[in-house]
Chain A
């Protein structure tokens, strides 16, 4: 484990998570049902981590959407997956300005509602139907 990850060894405990870091493809993942996205964003701010992006993927059989949050600390990419079984998850925009556009994009393309924020249209025009571009075609 590199020096950055040594420093981050206690982060799961600070986040109230029992699960360990798992390294896969150069990314250190922390996956746990106990993770709270706003607590995580606050912790990343405390670590001066750079927000990178959120990757949204539609799960099969209407199981919802998987959101992978990525932050960078000193070149080390961290990944935190969240499962949105309904249609909403807390927004981190007020804690992390850099998440603004990607939250708006996922809202428009996957119809996920990031609670606690207002939206202005990003790619779509006002009034356009949400969730049509990257949802499966048969929906």
Chain B
């Protein structure tokens, strides 16, 4: 006999509010339904009431983890409308901020995964590592969540102490290679909870339109930093880790390897950081009528902004945001089919979901 187990919207197994209705027979999941919208703040509608300065600050609040991604994407869209190009130093600082954000996001997620698989020591290890990245972000921007780094035409602040970032990178990389990757790939706890669990086949990953590490863990080598480079990524050398297993272990591994690639990108960006201005001076900002689209590879995958403006208007006429969790979340339904009920929290967390982003 099958029965429905409703989990959420507020539940210890979920990091954020949403509802997962699991249809089970014994301990096996036969189907799942997802319900979102508990974080709806009407941000797209609010954006239509904000000017070009205010809208950047507003969109930074779409998400508390990838806040920099949102300001970067909307600034790129507005720069496209205005036909403004940021100076080279600003493009490199944008890369540095984006990769620091990816580092803290991926390390945070590794900690959450550790907690959900019953590996509390790994949770505490990862959060201690993440704190080092947060300290760097705070030193650069003065903030731990909303960094306010991006503006139309460039960035608001310089990187005052590149050496501090390099020292942090050395420590982080050493700990990831020495502790996190070996534990996640060889410990019996991690193996039993992750290997072969929550499989998303490549075929299903394609049909669901999944993005980011979730797609790359199912064998899809898509990454906007490589396929459609923005900021200074075209000038930097890095690999796009891809795994073919499609299970929770593959998603863990892709993110762990991406941490190492982010360290590699950051070292290059810091060593190549060109001198010059932080932003392009614009005498008077007057938007033409039109729509511009911008995409950024956020820690969880592709973020796309579509920004429309009417000439002589102070505010955008439309701002549409499609976040990576929005693209990835429907695939959870397929990941949990046939899985054990006890694995559901870890499987849904393995896409690194963000409902704040999704609901907007």
Map CB proximity to B onto A86-113 as digits: 1 under 8 Å, 0 otherwise.
0000000000111011100000000000
Does A75 touch B at the CB level, under 8 Å? Answer: yes
Interface of chain A residues 2 through 58 with chain B (CB within 8 A)? 24-27, 48, 50-53, 55-58
Main SS at interface, chain B: mixed
A133 and B42 form a contact (CB under 8 A): yes
B209 and A50 form a contact (CB under 8 A): yes
Map CB proximity to A onto B213-244 as digits: 1 under 8 Å, 0 otherwise.
00000000010101110000000000000000
The answer for the CA separation of A124 and B318 in the assembled complex, in Å, is 21
Interface of chain B residues 309 through 360 with chain A (CB within 8 A)? 317-318, 320, 322, 326-327, 329-330, 359
Instruction: Across the A-B interface, give the 8 residue pairs with the lowest CB-CB distance, nearest first.
Output: A75-B227, A98-B209, A123-B37, A53-B322, A75-B228, A25-B80, A55-B320, A25-B292
Does B35 touch A at the CB level, under 8 Å? Answer: yes
Q: Which A residues are closer than 8 A to B by beta carbons?
A: 24-27, 48, 50-53, 55-58, 68, 70, 74-77, 79, 96-98, 100-102, 120-124, 133-134
B302 and A52 form a contact (CB under 8 A): yes
Given A98-B207, A134-B45, A57-B293 contact (CB < 8 Å): no
Shortest CB distance A129–B (Å): 14
A24 and B290 form a contact (CB under 8 A): yes
The answer for the CA separation of A42 and B55 in the assembled complex, in Å, is 37
The answer for the CA separation of A122 and B40 in the assembled complex, in Å, is 11
* Chain A residues near B302 (CB-CB < 8 A): 52
Q: CB-nearest residue of chain A relative to B42? A: A133
A56 and B320 form a contact (CB under 8 A): yes
The answer for the CA separation of A90 and B256 in the assembled complex, in Å, is 42
* Chain B residues near A124 (CB-CB < 8 A): 37
* Chain A residues near B81 (CB-CB < 8 A): 25
* Chain B residues near A76 (CB-CB < 8 A): 228
B36 and A123 form a contact (CB under 8 A): yes
A68 and B222 form a contact (CB under 8 A): no
The answer for the CA separation of A48 and B36 in the assembled complex, in Å, is 29
Task: Give the interface centre of A24, A53, A68 by most chain B CB atoms within 10 Å.
Answer: A53
Shortest CB distance B27–A (Å): 26
A97 and B80 form a contact (CB under 8 A): no
Shortest CB distance A40–B (Å): 16
Shortest CB distance A103–B (Å): 12
* Chain B residues near A79 (CB-CB < 8 A): 293
The answer for the CA separation of A128 and B359 in the assembled complex, in Å, is 17
* Chain B residues near A70 (CB-CB < 8 A): 293, 304
B37 and A77 form a contact (CB under 8 A): no
B45 and A133 form a contact (CB under 8 A): yes
Q: List 29 A-B contacts (CB under 8 A).
A: A25-B80, A25-B290, A25-B293, A26-B80, A26-B228, A50-B206, A50-B209, A50-B222, A51-B209, A52-B304, A55-B306, A55-B320, A57-B317, A58-B318, A68-B291, A68-B306, A70-B293, A75-B227, A77-B295, A96-B209, A98-B208, A98-B330, A100-B330, A101-B330, A102-B322, A120-B33, A122-B35, A122-B36, A134-B45
Task: Give the interface centre of A27, A76, A133 by most chain B CB atoms within 10 Å.
Answer: A27
A74 and B44 form a contact (CB under 8 A): no
Given A57-B318, A74-B227, A97-B207 contact (CB < 8 Å): yes
* Chain B residues near A75 (CB-CB < 8 A): 224, 226-228
Does B67 touch A at the CB level, under 8 Å? Answer: no
Does B105 touch A at the CB level, under 8 Å? Answer: no
Shortest CB distance A120–B (Å): 8
The answer for the CA separation of A123 and B360 in the assembled complex, in Å, is 11
Does B308 touch A at the CB level, under 8 Å? Answer: yes
